[in-house]
């Protein structure tokens, strides 16, 4: 039996057994049995007492079944779970849904029991969903093994929360949306988030994949699966809280202090083309906007309103969301004006100024002009459309006809058209939604979805980097060893010499040229400890600095380094930390001593390609400093990007490195120079992925 066969049995089994079926309405064994008995497939109820449940005969054990069940739902106390799984595997069961709790979530002993159980399941060629999960559902196969009824549709939901499935279903239903599949992750003991995403990519009935995850498990694997979904035209929308935070630790670098678990999630989402949202409501709205699968050419939005107030508000909300509301060309404005009354606004936003009541077809006539205009990328309708039917039966029918015309125009144009309406539950609003025009009760939600679609269209194709094979182990984490490691990878540093005495320091300065910097070795934060002396221009100054530093710190060694001219460049930071779920995560940002104050940083999964690094640099708030703001000479962004990419490659290829940082990287008009570096090695026997 292949893994794909077992997954098919999870979502479309020939027969089902529910172990722990109950008449007690407080138990999962009752809730799932109630749903299961509505299915059109053999369902066997198993209860150790053998008494009828829900008016149906039961079996005392799986061994009593007339034929093996392809899928077994286990809803018994944890003490009986393993025995039930053993019986199911012995009977030839292909898929097991573990409702029972009491395993990895309880600590080391529970994790060991769970691991042993999974080993037996996999050895038998079966799959396990959970344990500690809430069931499974597939509307395309008629499988209903969740605690509550769910609406059918084409959205797959993979979730660690059953309540979220219920809330999301309530939020999607007004838009006529529902679930193709629902799988409760539970402990992800066997079936992982990544594997379930891939199963939904291969599922013909799924168009959008929604994920609620608190622990991503193999985060890098999830990102790869999500990238496959994006490439297949199935958008992935993720809601997460905490993002599987690692145990609290004290970061030893600026990079470590600024990188959070959510930074790693965001980096993975960008790499995979995933949309991350903050609330179930935002998730539902974005799903509604993604389903028509119309990508805008750009951020230019035409606003079509039937009142001045709505026109003004929609225009401001759209711009606040990052969209553009450009003034129409004279030819387009004249064409719009020809369709409306003299009092109408025609420059963008368009204000019908009461034309809807006089002739409701003005909506579709103007929209026809807007969607054909090359300078318009998206259209936002806002106002009372959907409510005109309240003026009488004739107007109601005309509004429905116009709503149908609007959907046809949107489909033919292939551009995003969304509507905000004061009457989201009206017949006309339902016609819009059914025809692929997402409809919202709040204009900010409509504008937010358009902004999301615009940003999504601007992204490069998904790319999730592979972690390179591990290279020779780094044993030293001092500045000189780190400098050597990075220099070998192509990261340029100023000329330098390692010294131990004042005499050696003076000789080194004479050799490499003054002014120089003197740095003490053996200190993680050299500047904070007084282990750096800058701008030493003559032998006397260097000698005095060496003597004072040595007397104060008694460092194991020192470095004399050529002093770079900071006034010719921009100080940046490049670093990498290692996330327990997503692996190495790279960071770039404005650097120097104020890195943590400015907090102008961006993240990506390491190793970065130079193009990825340049994209992160251009996305910084301070990017104008790099590209020539206020008459500055632009820096060599390509050279900086190569440095950032090389740093990320080194860290990714050395799993023993927990944190690696170059700060500052001096971005110059004719190149880039690393001025300091630090490395933090993971503790021995630490799981570094």
| Predicted local distance difference test score (pLDDT) of residue 2 | 85
* Cα–Cα nearest to 513, from 527, 498, 497: 497
Asked if residue 595 lies in contact with residue 573, where contact means CB atoms within 8 angstroms, the answer is yes
Indicate if the pLDDT at residue 127 is higher than 90. Answer: yes
Percent residues over pLDDT 70 in the chain: 96
CATH of the domain at 543: 3.30.1490.20
Region 622-642: mean pLDDT is: 92
Same domain, residue pair 225 and 78 = no
Which of 429, 458, 487 marks a domain boundary? Answer: 458
pLDDT of residue 685: 65
Lowest mean pLDDT among 112-126, 441-455, 671-685: 671-685
**Residue 447, domain member (yes or no):** yes
**284 and 153, same domain (yes or no):** yes
Confidence of residue 250 (pLDDT cuts 50, 70, 90): very low
- Mean pLDDT for the stretch of residues 564-577: 91
Q: Which of 242-246, 578-582, 649-653 has the lowest mean pLDDT?
A: 242-246
Q: Are residues 44 and 83 in the same domain?
A: yes
Pinpoint the alpha helices (H) of 494-553. 502-512, 539-553
* Whether residue 229 sits in one domain with residue 334: no
Q: pLDDT for 204-221, tens place per residue?
A: 999 999 999 988 999 999
Pick the last residue of a domain from 538, 562, 586: 562
pLDDT over threshold 70, residue 252: no
CA pair distance 37, 74, nearest whole angstrom: 16
**Lowest model confidence (mean pLDDT) among 161-170, 238-247, 256-265, 499-508:** 238-247
CB 113 within 8 A of CB 83: no
Site of tokens 């027969």: 15
pLDDT digits (tens, 9 = 90+) for 542-552: 999 999 999 99
- Residues 318 and 255 reside in one and the same domain: no
Question: Whose CA is closest to 113, among 90, 143, 81, 136?
Answer: 81
Q: What is the pLDDT of residues 327-357, one digit of tens each?
A: 999 999 999 999 999 899 999 999 998 877 8
Inside any domain, residue 467: no
Could you tell me which residues are beta bridge partners of residue 237?
A: 210, 275
pLDDT reading at 105 higher than 90: no
What's the pLDDT band for 632 if we cut at 50, 70, 90?
A: confident
Closest CA to 145 of 33, 69, 46: 33
Measured in whole angstroms, the distance separating CA 660 from the mean position of its chain's CA atoms is: 24
The tens digit of pLDDT for each residue in 391-418 reads 999 999 999 999 999 999 999 999 999 9
Residue 243 has pLDDT above 60, yes or no: no
Query: Mean pLDDT over all residues of the chain?
Result: 93
pLDDT at 103: 86
- Does 141 lie in the same domain as 129? no
Q: Which of 247, 651, 688 is nearest to 477 (CA)?
A: 651
Which tokens in the block code for residue 654? 């050395």
Specify whether 277 is located in the same domain as 314.
no
The predicted model gives 17-29 an average pLDDT of: 95
Is residue 341 located within the same domain as residue 275? no
Residue 468 forms part of a structural domain = no
- 436 shares a domain with 499: no
Q: Domain check: are 161 and 217 in the same one?
A: yes
CATH (domain of 121): 3.40.50.720
Res. 422: pLDDT tops 90: yes
DSSP per-residue letters across 174-202: GGT--EEEEEE-TT-SSS-HHHHHHHHHT
Residue 687 lies in a domain: no
Tokens of 438: 């997402």
Q: Which pLDDT score is estimated for 251? A: 44
At 355 the pLDDT is 79
Angle between helices 443-458 and 280-290 (to 10 degrees): 60
Which CATH number do you get for residue 151?
3.40.50.261
DSSP 53: B
Tell me which residue range forms the domain holding 630. 569-681
The stretch 573-590 carries a mean pLDDT of: 95
Mean pLDDT across the stretch 8-24?
Answer: 97
Matching residue, tokens 């994006």: 230
- Find the mean pLDDT for residues 430-437: 96
Residue with the bigger pLDDT between 357 and 462: it is 462
Question: Which of 531, 562, 593 is the last residue before a domain boundary?
Answer: 562
Distance CA 327, CA 315 (A): 11
- Whether 179 shows a pLDDT value over 80: the answer reads yes
404 and 334, same structural domain?
yes
Same domain, 540 and 591: no
How many domains in the chain? 5
Mean pLDDT of 367-383: 97
Q: Given a cut of 60, is residue 464 above it in pLDDT? A: yes
CA distance 429 to 418: 11
> Which of 101 and 659 is assigned the larger pLDDT?
659
Residue pointed to by tokens 């999962």? 28
**Token pair in block for residue 642:** 């190569």
- pLDDT value at 260 more than 70: no
Banded pLDDT at 246 (limits 50, 70, 90): very low
């Amino acid at each position: 039996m292949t893994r794909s066969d077992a997954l098919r049995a999870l979502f479309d089994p020939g027969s089902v057994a529910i172990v722990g079926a109950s008449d007690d309405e407080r138990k999962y064994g009752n809730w799932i049995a109630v749903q299961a008995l509505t299915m059109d497939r053999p369902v066997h109820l198993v209860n150790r007492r053998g008494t009828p449940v829900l008016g149906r005969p039961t079996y005392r054990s799986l061994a009593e079944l007339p034929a093996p069940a392809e899928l077994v739902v286990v809803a018994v106390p944890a003490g009986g779970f393993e025995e039930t799984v053993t019986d199911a595997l012995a009977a030839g069961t292909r898929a097991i849904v573990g409702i029972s709790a009491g395993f990895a979530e309880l600590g080391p002993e529970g994790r060991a029991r769970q691991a042993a159980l999974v080993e037996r399941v996999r050895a038998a060629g079966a799959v396990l969903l959970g344990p500690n999960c809430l069931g499974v559902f597939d509307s395309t196969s008629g499988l209903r093994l969740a605690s509550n009824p769910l609406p059918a549709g084409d959205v797959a939901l993979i979730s660690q929360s059953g309540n979220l499935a219920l809330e999301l279903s309530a939020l999607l239903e007004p838009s006529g949306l529902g679930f193709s599949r629902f799988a409760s992750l539970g402990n992800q003991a066997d079936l992982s988030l990544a594997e379930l995403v891939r199963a939904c990519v291969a599922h013909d009935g799924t168009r959008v994949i929604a994920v609620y995850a608190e622990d991503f498990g193999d985060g890098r694997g999830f990102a790869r699966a999500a990238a496959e979904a994006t490439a297949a035209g199935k958008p992935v929308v993720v809601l997460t809280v905490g993002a599987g935070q690692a145990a609290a630790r004290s970061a030893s670098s600026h990079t470590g202090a600024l990188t959070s678990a959510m930074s790693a999630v965001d980096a993975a989402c960008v790499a995979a083309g995933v949309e991350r949202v903050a609330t179930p409501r935002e998730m539902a709205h974005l799903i509604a906007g993604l389903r028509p699968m119309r990508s805008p050419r750009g951020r230019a939005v035409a606003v079509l309103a039937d009142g001045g107030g709505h026109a003004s508000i929609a225009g401001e909300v759209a711009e606040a969301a990052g969209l553009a509301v450009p003034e129409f060309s004279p030819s387009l404005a004249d064409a719009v004006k020809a369709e409306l009354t003299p009092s109408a606004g025609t420059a963008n936003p368009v204000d019908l100024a009461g034309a809807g009541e006089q002739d409701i077809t003005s909506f579709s006539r103007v929209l026809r002009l807007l969607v054909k205009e090359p300078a318009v990328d998206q259209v936002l309708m806002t106002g009372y459309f959907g409510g005109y039917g309240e003026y009488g039966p004739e107007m109601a029918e005309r509004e429905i006809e116009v709503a149908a015309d609007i959907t046809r125009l949107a489909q033919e144009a292939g551009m995003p058209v969304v509507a905000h309406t004061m009457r989201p539950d009206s017949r006309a609003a339902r016609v819009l939604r059914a025809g692929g025009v997402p409809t919202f009760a709040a204009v900010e939600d409509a504008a937010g979805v358009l902004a999301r679609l615009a940003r999504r269209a601007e992204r490069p194709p998904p790319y999730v980097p592979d972690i390179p094979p591990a290279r020779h182990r780094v044993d030293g984490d001092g500045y000189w060893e780190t400098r050597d490691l990075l220099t070998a990878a192509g990261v340029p540093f100023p000329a330098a010499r390692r010294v131990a005495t004042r005499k050696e320091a003076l000789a080194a300065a004479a050799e490499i040229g003054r002014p120089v910097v003197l740095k003490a070795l053996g200190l993680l934060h050299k500047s904070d400890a007084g282990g750096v002396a800058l701008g030493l221009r003559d032998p006397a100054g260097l000698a005095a600095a060496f003597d004072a530093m040595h007397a104060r710190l008694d460092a194991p060694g020192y470095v004399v380094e050529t002093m770079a001219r900071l006034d010719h460049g921009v100080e940046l930071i490049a670093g990498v930390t290692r996330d327990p779920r997503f692996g190495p995560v790279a960071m770039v940002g404005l650097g120097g001593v104020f890195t943590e104050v400015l907090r102008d940083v961006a993240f990506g999964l390491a190793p970065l390609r130079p193009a990825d690094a340049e994209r992160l640099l251009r996305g910084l708030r301070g990017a104008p400093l790099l590209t020539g703001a206020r008459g500055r000479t632009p820096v060599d962004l390509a050279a900086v990007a190569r440095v950032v990419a090389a740093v990320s490659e080194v860290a990714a290829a050395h799993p023993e490195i927990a944190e690696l940082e170059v700060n500052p990287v001096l971005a110059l008009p004719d190149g880039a120079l690393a001025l300091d570096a630090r490395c933090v090695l993971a503790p021995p026997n630490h799981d570094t992925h």
